[in-house]
Amino acid sequence: MKAVILAGGYGKRLRPLTNDRPKPLLEVAGKPILAWQVEWLKKSGVNEMMLCVGYLKEKIIEHVGGGNRFGLKVGYVVEEEPLGTGGALKNTEAFLKSEEAFLVVNGDIITNLDPARMADEVKGYAGVIALVPLKSPYGIVDTDDDGFARQFREKPVLFEYWVNAGVYCFTPEIFDYLPKKGNIETTTFPKLAEKSKIKALKYKDVFWNAIDTHKDIEEAEASIKQYKADK
């Protein structure tokens, strides 16, 4: 299977770390985010991928090269100006239009979810979105009917709410709905939802972290250490 990693963003909320380094090359637990992703995708059966790059693109290209160090083939689509996730993906159409299905991953997440489950669900649709349960950023206080505090839960996982995991499986039909410039989450997904063209697949017990802020790096490193300790 082929995959696309959307790695062209500025990472503004991670400055000054991203002043001279693109966000996908920031290290988490001793390894760049991009390395975590490429290794995970390879284990998931991906043998060829395209990186959509823009900001500090030369550093990503220098680090990954043709993909030999990771044991797969890597190509690049370069954004001369920011196109958003939808515009960036649209530029990969020539690479992917003959595929039955392909994976797309945001360049700032680390996970071990199994994308093969998504590939099994995508036939007949434009795509499948991976969902993970919401991790509360705050501690939760449970109360009883009389107003007494009964339980204190420190940043629990809230299975009542599900968030976009930034991992997708698409068919070439997706290119009919992509903008030349704009984000797929706000321009494409609502249109697909209206037409029942996109499914959502829930992943309950997986490792997943998004890296958007300095605090996210710290929390991801702690999560990775805990995940390794539990295995």
Instruction: Specify the CATH number for the domain of residue 188.
Output: 3.90.550.10
pLDDT, position 152: 93
At 196-216, the pLDDT tens digits run 999 999 999 899 999 988 888
Average pLDDT, the chain: 91
Q: What are phi and psi of 220, to 5 degrees?
A: -65, -40
User: Burial code of 4-25, b = ≥16 C-beta within 10 A, e = fewer?
Assistant: bbbbbbebeebeeebeebbbbb
Residue 227 predicted with pLDDT over 70: no
211, 12 in Cβ contact below 8 A? no
Please say if the pLDDT value at position 231 is more than 60: no
Q: Does a structural domain hold residue 155? A: no
What's residue 129's pLDDT?
Answer: 97
Residue 229 has pLDDT above 60, yes or no: no
Percent of the chain with pLDDT over 90: 66
User: Does a structural domain hold residue 144?
Assistant: no
pLDDT at residue 228 in the model: 62
Is the pLDDT confidence value at 52 over 80? yes
Asked if residue 18 belongs to a domain, the reply is yes
pLDDT reading at 87 higher than 80: yes
Give the model confidence (pLDDT) of 107-162 as tens digits.
Answer: 999 999 999 999 999 999 999 999 999 988 889 899 989 888 999 998 888 899 99
Question: pTM of the predicted model, to two decimals?
Answer: 0.89
Which residues carry out catalysis?
A: 155
Look at residue 78 and tell me if it is in a domain: yes
**Angle between helices 57-64 and 33-43 in degrees, nearest 10:** 50
Break the chain down into helix, strand, coil percent, rounded to 5: 35, 30, 35
User: CB of 188 within 8 A of CB of 181?
Assistant: no
pLDDT range class, residue 79, cuts 50, 70, 90: confident
Count of the separate structural domains present in the chain:
1
Residue range(s) defining the domain that contains residue 222: 2-130+163-230
